[in-house]
């Protein structure tokens, strides 16, 4: 069957099980959009307000569903608008397929209208990329790109398709659904060494990252933790690796982590790290971090072993397989002294957690949402103080229900991500955002409204860029350079102007009432929560410092 | 700080060199030389990279390169058990008075004369990089007009290959 490049693209996506893509039309993808029009009953397209929003939506879709996210944009500015989303997916290992149109091959390299070398622009931030110049290679390129994006440590793959390649015809034949590349087999000898190290440890600590936040690993991690009496701390990306209710779970550790989690990590004699890359936000002072302790690091990506922290034992392989092998050979061992120590840390945390005297605190807001949300509702965040408070306080019940921009720290990530999560799950999608982050991509409210998505935007409005302000308070002598916004935006009216519902809450009662209405409406809602501009994220370990410098409160 | 040699088989496609050299700059790896050329398989090119750095940097470079989809085979080449070669073409000032002396130096190193003009001689010298260094050093007093070196290529002795 002879098909054009544009038809081949759509047929191959459908063949491989893609039923939803996010995007924005334009001159260089008109032929692809024409095919989308003709195939509207077979593949759903969600149009965003801006290509960046589409890219984040594809990320949110991928992370809420565990499937590949697909985003489509035109050449030039359409393509460059995807860049932040691609970089974000790269740092958070999100499987993303970005498809861009480009000018015709005869015009490539001549600075044609809306021409950008998007393959060149994105080299450092993709897992792989292609510019397809021969239509005969298009279908297999798409299939290979999907394999690369989802195999091993997932990541973004870009396919750039010049306009004439979309128009050219070639024979097309459907193929089977691709299978992912085999994971590298783990070294069995290392399992015995790990088992020995675990047996010798008196104070083991399990440290989970984004690579551990997989449904298929959750049970094994918990079983292992119970078997050896190890507490579990997570990175921000690893928050969904275990349910918040699990008794050995201490929550996020590191710069703004829970005291008990961070303290247990420092006090441990063995860290068993799983799918985590020891970011500077988690480790602080690296020399003090690994003092008096051994580290076992299990990761699918060999390049992460001993990259940021030198480890005693690195095992490359699929976490579930490695963990099952270790679990099988590990003898159950109870550690009452260590557990008692953990309880002490917990007690200290409970007694010393700083709660501000304001009438509506950040924790009040998150507690209220925890009380009303469905356990399967995807929770997304933007970037800033609200993200850290959410990381500390949000109750995660299932993997794939916590979606945040951990590595790149993209302000403006949340609106797209929450839209993608709503599309993927059909459930009420919750977005925690701040007035700063929301301001970056609030245009996507239009998308949520036109798609009539069940989306509750919980907006922390403190009128300032709170996270930066906090650093300015602590480390820059209260010189609030460009962080006091003075915007006077009426978010209720703004929501209404977009066709969404708007609510304002300044105390617990008005918040409960607003949340009740918002969650019942099953449509886009913005709940503006007024909080004090001097609320801080605590505890905090100042950058580059260790637990010795941990602050439970400031002043 | 040690010198390391890395051999790679990479896809013979546009953009591969950019991907690899971009990775070096992004991750802050310092490389001393990089060569690339065709192989017996038209789909693959062979690259040889020499770098100076710590063992940590070597490990990271090997692992990060291995992650690139276009890098099909990669390993460190132990120079002690490999054939290591580099080619230099050196254009030296050689007025009639110095000419004999310059030719004696070249002869000692087994360099070939590939061009001769009224004022210059061009030598071609193939060998291990340190031999080339000494050769160039000894020619300096006569005045090097210009020179070019290919960078190292290396291949394992015996039946060992890059392929795992």
What A290-298 contacts at long range (C-beta under 8 Å, 24+ apart), as own/partner pairs, is A293/A268, A293/A269, A294/A197, A294/A201, A294/A269, A294/A270, A295/A270, A295/A271, A296/A194, A296/A197, A296/A198, A296/A270, A296/A271, A296/A272, A297/A273, A298/A272, A298/A273, A298/A274, A298/A322, A298/A323
pLDDT reading at B164 higher than 80:
no
Cβ(A57)–Cβ(A46) under 8 Å?
yes
Give me the phi and psi of A490, to 5 degrees please: -95, 100
DSSP A92: T
pLDDT value for A219 = 96
Q: Which residue of B has its CA nearest to A133?
A: B14
Q: Taken in order A199, A201, A207, A211, is the CA torsion positive or negative? A: negative
pLDDT value for B17 = 94
**Which residues of chain A neighbour B68 with C-beta distances below 8 Å?**
128
CA distance B14 to chain A (A): 10
* B70-87: average pLDDT: 96
CATH no. for A362-530 = 3.40.50.970
Structure tokens at A380: 């997304």
CA distance A302 to chain B (A): 7
**Chain A interface, best mutation among B13, B19, B58, by max A CB count within 10 A:** B19
Cβ(A467)–Cβ(A481) under 8 Å?
no
**Which residues of chain A neighbour B60 with C-beta distances below 8 Å?**
303, 307
CB pair distance less than 8 Å for A127 and B69: yes
3-state secondary structure of B55: helix
pLDDT value for A105 = 97
CA distance A312 to chain B (A): 14
Q: Which residues of chain A have pLDDT under 50?
A: none
Q: Which residue of A has its CA nearest to B61?
A: A303
CA distance B40 to chain A (A): 24
Q: Which residue of A has its CA nearest to B17?
A: A123
pLDDT value for A288 = 86
Helices A385-393 and A466-475: crossing angle in degrees, nearest 10, is: 100
CB pair distance less than 8 Å for B66 and A303: yes
pLDDT value for A286 = 87
Cβ(A381)–Cβ(A414) under 8 Å?
yes
Superfamily of domain covering A2-171: Thiamin diphosphate (ThDP)-binding fold, Pyr/PP domains (3.40.50.970)
pLDDT value for A426 = 97
User: DSSP states of A112-149 as a string?
Assistant: -TT---HHHHHGGG-SEEEE---GGGHHHHHHHHHHHH
* Candidates B22, B60, B66; nearest CB to A123: B22
pLDDT value for A408 = 97
Q: Which residue has the tokens 């924005």?
A: A24
CB pair distance less than 8 Å for A123 and B66: no
CB pair distance less than 8 Å for B63 and A120: no
* Candidates B23, B63, B69; nearest CB to A302: B63
Reported ipTM: the value is 0.89
pLDDT value for A101 = 98
**Chain A interface, best mutation among B62, B63, B65, B164, by max A CB count within 10 A:** B63
Q: Domain A188-352 belongs to what architecture?
A: 3-Layer(aba) Sandwich (3.40)
Structure tokens at A170: 């070639």
Domain with CATH 3.40.50.1220 in chain A: 188-352
Domain B82-153 in this protein, CATH class: alpha beta
Interface of A with B in 115-144 (CB under 8 A): 119-120, 123-124, 127-128, 131
**Which residues of chain B neighbour A180 with C-beta distances below 8 Å?**
none
Threshold 0.90, pTM exceeds: yes
CB pair distance less than 8 Å for A303 and B60: yes
pLDDT value for A156 = 98
CA distance A310 to chain B (A): 9
| Residue boundaries of the structural domains of chain B | 2-76, 82-153
Superfamily of domain covering B2-76: ACT domain (3.30.70.260)
Element (H, E) at A156: strand A156-162
Strand ranges for A182-277 from DSSP E:
204-208, 232-234, 249-252, 270-274
Domain with CATH 3.40.50.970 in chain A: 2-171, 362-530
Same fold, B2-76 and B82-153: yes
Residue A409, sorted as left (phi over 0), alpha (psi -120 to 50) or beta, turns out to be left
Up-side HSE of residue A512: CA atoms within 13 Å toward CB? 5
Structure tokens at B32: 């001393």
How far, in Å, CA of A166 to CA of A160, rounded? Answer: 11
pLDDT value for A28 = 98
Query: Strand A232-234 relative to strand A204-208: parallel, antiparallel, unpaired?
Result: parallel
Residue B96's pLDDT band (cuts 50, 70, 90): confident
């Amino acid at each position: 069957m002879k098909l054009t490049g544009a038809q081949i693209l759509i047929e191959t996506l459908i063949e491989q099980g893609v039923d939803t893509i996010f995007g924005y039309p334009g001159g260089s993808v008109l032929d692809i959009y024409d095919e989308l029009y003709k195939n509207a009953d077979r593949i759903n397209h969600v149009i965003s307000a801006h290509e960046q929003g589409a890219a984040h939506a594809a990320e949110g879709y991928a992370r809420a569903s565990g499937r590949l996210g697909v985003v489509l944009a035109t050449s030039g500015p359409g393509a460059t608008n995807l860049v932040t989303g691609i970089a974000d997916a790269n740092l958070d290992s999100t499987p993303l397929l970005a498809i861009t149109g480009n000018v015709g091959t005869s015009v490539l390299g001549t600075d044609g209208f809306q021409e950008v070398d998007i393959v060149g622009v994105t080299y450092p931030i993709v897992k792989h990329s292609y510019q397809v110049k021969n239509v005969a290679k298009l279908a297999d390129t798409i299939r290979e790109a999907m394999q690369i994006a989802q195999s091993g440590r997932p990541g973004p793959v870009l396919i750039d398709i010049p306009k004439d390649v979309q128009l050219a015809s070639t024979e097309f034949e459907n193929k089977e659904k691709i299978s992912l590349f085999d994971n590298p087999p783990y070294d069995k000898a290392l399992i015995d060494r790990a088992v020995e190290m675990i047996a010798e440890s008196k104070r083991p600590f399990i440290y989970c990252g984004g690579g551990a936040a997989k449904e298929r690993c959750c049970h094994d991690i918990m079983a292992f933790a119970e078997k050896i009496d190890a507490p579990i701390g997570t990175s921000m990306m690893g928050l969904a690796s275990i349910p918040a209710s699990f008794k050995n779970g201490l929550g996020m550790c590191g710069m703004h982590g829970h005291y008990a989690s961070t303290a247990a990590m420092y006090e441990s004699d063995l860290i068993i790290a799983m799918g985590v890359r020891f970011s500077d936000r988690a480790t602080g002072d690296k020399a003090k971090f690994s003092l008096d302790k051994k580290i076992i690091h299990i990761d699918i990506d060999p390049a992460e072993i001993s990259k940021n922290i030198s480890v005693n034992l690195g095992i490359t392989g699929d976490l579930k397989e490695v963990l099952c092998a270790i679990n099988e050979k590990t003898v159950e061992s109870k550690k009452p002294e260590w557990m008692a120590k953990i309880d002490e840390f917990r007690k200290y945390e409970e007694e010393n957690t700083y709660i501000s005297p304001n009438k509506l605190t950040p924790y009040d807001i998150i507690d209220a949402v925890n009380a009303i949300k469905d356990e399967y509702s995807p929770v997304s965040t933007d970037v800033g103080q609200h993200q850290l408070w959410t990381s500390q306080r949000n109750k995660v019940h299932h993997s794939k229900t916590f979606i945040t921009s951990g590595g790149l720290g993209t302000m403006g990530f949340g609106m797209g991500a929450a839209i993608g999560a709503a599309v993927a799950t059909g459930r009420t999608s919750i977005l925690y955002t701040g007035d700063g982050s929301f301001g970056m991509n609030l245009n996507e409210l239009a998308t949520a409204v036109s798609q009539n998505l069940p989306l509750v935007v919980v907006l922390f409005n403190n009128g300032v860029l709170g996270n930066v302000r906090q650093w300015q308070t602590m480390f820059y002598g209260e010189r609030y350079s460009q962080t006091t916004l003075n915007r006077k935006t009426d978010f209720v009216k703004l929501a209404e102007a977009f066709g969404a519902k708007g609510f304002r809450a300044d105390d617990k009662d008005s918040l409960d009432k607003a949340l009740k209405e918002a969650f019942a409406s099953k449509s886009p809602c913005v709940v503006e929560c007024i909080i004090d501009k001097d609320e801080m994220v605590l505890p905090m370990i100042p950058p580059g410092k260790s637990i010795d410098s941990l602050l439970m409160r400031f002043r | 700080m040690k010198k390391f040699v890395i051999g790679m088989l990479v896809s013979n496609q546009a953009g591969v060199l950019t991907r690899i050299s971009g990775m070096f700059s992004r991750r802050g790896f310092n490389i001393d030389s990089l060569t690339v050329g065709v192989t017996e398989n038209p789909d693959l090119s062979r690259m040889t990279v020499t770098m100076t750095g710590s063992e940590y940097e070597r490990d990271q470079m090997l692992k990060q390169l291995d992650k690139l989809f276009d890098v099909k085979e990669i390993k460190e080449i132990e120079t002690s058990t490999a054939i290591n070669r580099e080619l230099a073409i050196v254009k030296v000032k050689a007025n009639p008075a110095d000419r004999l002396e310059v030719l004696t130096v070249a002869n000692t190193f087994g360099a070939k004369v590939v061009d001769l003009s009224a004022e210059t001689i061009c030598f071609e010298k193939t060998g291990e990089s340190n031999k080339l260094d000494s050769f160039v050093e000894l020619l300096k007093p006569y005045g090097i007009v210009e020179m070019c070196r290919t960078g190292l290529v290396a291949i394992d002795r015996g039946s060992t290959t890059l392929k795992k």
